[in-house]
Amino acid sequence: MHFSRFVLALSFLCAVSAHVITQRQAAPEVSTPQYLPIPSAAVGPTIGASGYYVEDFGRGTYMVTDGGYQALFLVSTEGVIVVDNPPTIGTKMLYAIGNVTHLPVTHFVYSHSHADHIGGAILVPNDEVEIIAHIETANLLAQVNDYNRPAPHKTFKKKYKLKVGNQTLELSYKGANHLEGNIFIYTPAAKVVMLVDVVFPGWTPFDRLGEVKNVPGFIKAHDQILEYDFEHFVGGHLSRSGDRTDVEIQKEYVLDLFNNCVDVINLTGTDDPVLGGANILGPVFAVNPGNSWAAFSVYLEVTAGVCADKTNEKWVTRLAGSDVFQLANAQTMIESLRIDYGILGPFANM
Ligand SMILES: *[C@@H]1O[C@H](CO)[C@@H](O)[C@H](O)[C@H]1NC(C)=O
Ligand SMILES: *[C@@H]1O[C@H](CO)[C@@H](O)[C@H](O)[C@H]1NC(C)=O
Ligand SMILES: *[C@@H]1O[C@H](CO)[C@@H](O)[C@H](O)[C@H]1NC(C)=O
Ligand SMILES: [Zn+2]
């Protein structure tokens, strides 16, 4: 449902831009790529006519999803705690809560600052609601001043224990990963860990490792999740919730991607007849004298391509969408290996 609306909006946009462009040039050709089918392990519950699905984790803890995004709410004896409200879920979050309890929402937790996860915060109608977020999330929100994402009332730096009636939510910041301010959210009663935009149960991470800002922190976050005693994992996406196995599988995937990309960069530091740095860069400089950007661009494209292909040999049948985002994920990994980890291949003639 939401997808067809998206396609509709897209075709409308294309129609508008095509109309404007025809004055000067032909509309660009739009090709529709066909990717591999989705492995069954990536398939989630069917989203019915209501447009949302509620998963009951027990002890008053529920996940709400529209099939693309996920958020959480906890019913306590004194009120409801909501964690995130993606705009795609929006008012459906209030219906989901309303079908479980008559109690009002009293607390709202921001997992991180991104609009696609908390942009529905404004819909929670209670003036008494207390918004809680990490201090870095508050700082990032202050930069953009978005009406849909009100400034939090309460911020913390390291840990915050939110107790409402009979519910306890442990919020914890372990440093930047997906971005600064992205927190671990844990409910010991229902044994649920939520960390958004890091692990994508059943799926390859979204574009560029989920638009990651800090790759070393992102990689470390997999072990940090596994340190919790949990039965359910909520990643904010995509088709279903996860568990320990999903986190372990994505950790294995990320380390494979890491190691494959290291191998490729290291090979470019040698005189390998195909991947040796001189053999990649030389022909580009010959055609584009003095153009370092051209040489660098080709270097990044070639190394990411080889790393992505190698990674897909193992993962294309295990995680959905590997053939969609593997190249983008490898590009992000290659860049991080160079500038975060200092694995510089041919660009370190010390
Ligand atoms: C807290 O109370 C709510 C409402 O009575 C109940 O549904 C839920 O299971 C309780 N949760 C815990 C952790 O005790
Ligand atoms: C219960 O869910 C239905 C379907 O989403 C919705 O129309 C209705 O308003 C909800 N009830 C409450 C009290 O929120
Ligand atoms: C890759 O090269 C780096 C030096 O840039 C070295 O420290 C590392 O051990 C090499 N890794 C492999 C797997 O060859
Ligand atoms: Zn995000």
Neighbours of 18 (CB within 10 A): 14
Q: What percent of the chain has pLDDT over 90?
A: 89
* pLDDT computed for residue 350 by the predictor: 62
pLDDT above 70 covers what percent of the chain?
92
Q: Residue 26: its pLDDT value, please?
A: 73
pLDDT band at 23 (very low <50, low <70, confident <90, very high): low
Bond from prior residue into 238 cis (ω within 30 degrees of 0)? yes
Pocket of ligand 1, beta carbon within 6 A: 59-60, 75-77, 166-167, 189
- Answer yes or no: are the C-beta atoms of 89 and 66 closer than 8 Å: yes
- Give the model confidence (pLDDT) of 202-238 as tens digits: 999 999 999 999 999 999 999 999 999 999 999 999 9
Q: Which of 349, 347, 334 is nearest to 262 (CA)?
A: 334
Taking only the tens place, the pLDDT of each residue in 207-217 is: 999 999 999 99
Q: What is the pLDDT of residue 12?
A: 38
Q: Say if residues 94 and 123 touch (Cβ distance below 8 Å).
A: yes
CA-to-CA distance for 170 and 162, rounded, in angstroms?
Answer: 6
Question: pLDDT tens for residues 80-122?
Answer: 999 999 999 999 999 999 999 999 999 999 999 999 999 999 9
CB 136 within 8 A of CB 156: no
Residue 126: per-residue pLDDT: 66
* Gyration radius from the chain CA atoms: 23
In the prediction, which pLDDT does 348 show?
Answer: 86
Kindly give the distance from the C-alpha atom of residue 224 to the centroid of ligand 1, in angstroms, as a whole number: 27
Q: What residues pack around ion ligand 4 (CB closer than 5 A)?
A: 114, 197
Average pLDDT of every residue of the chain: 93
- φ, ψ for residue 163, nearest 5 deg: -115, 120
pLDDT at 1: 35
Q: In the chain, where do the E strands start and end?
A: 53-58, 61-65, 70-75, 80-83, 105-109, 130-134, 154-156, 159-164, 167-172, 184-187, 192-194, 232-234
- 240 CA distance to ligand 2 centroid (A)? 22
Atom of ligand 2 nearest to the CA of 92: 5
Exposed/middle/buried for residue 63 (C-beta within 10 Å: 0-12, 13-18, 19+): buried
pLDDT, one tens digit per residue, over 160-179 is 999 999 999 999 999 999 99
41 DSSP assignment: G
How far does the centroid of ligand 2 lie from the alpha carbon of residue 233, in Å?
26
305-327 pLDDT tens trace? 999 999 999 999 999 999 999 99
Confidence of residue 67 (pLDDT cuts 50, 70, 90): very high
Ligand 3 atom closest to 263 (CA): 13
Count other C-beta atoms under 10 Å from residue 11's C-beta. 12
pLDDT single digits (tens) 273-282: 999 999 999 9
pLDDT of 78 > 80? The answer is yes
Computed from CA positions of residues 182, 188, 189, 193, in that sequence, does the dihedral angle turn out positive or negative?
Answer: positive
> Hey, which of 75, 99, 107, 191 would you mutate to test ligand 1's pocket, going by the most ligand atoms within 8 Å of its Cβ?
75
Q: 178-201, pLDDT tens digit by residue? A: 999 999 999 999 999 999 999 999
* pLDDT single digits (tens) 42-56: 999 999 999 999 999
Q: Are strands 70-75 and 61-65 parallel, antiparallel or unpaired?
A: antiparallel
Nearest-CA residue for atom 6 of ligand 3: 343
- The residue with greater pLDDT, 40 or 9, is 40
Query: In degrees, to the nearest 5, what angle opens at C-alpha 46 toward C-alphas 9 and 11?
Result: 10
**130: confidence class by pLDDT, cuts 50, 70, 90:** very high
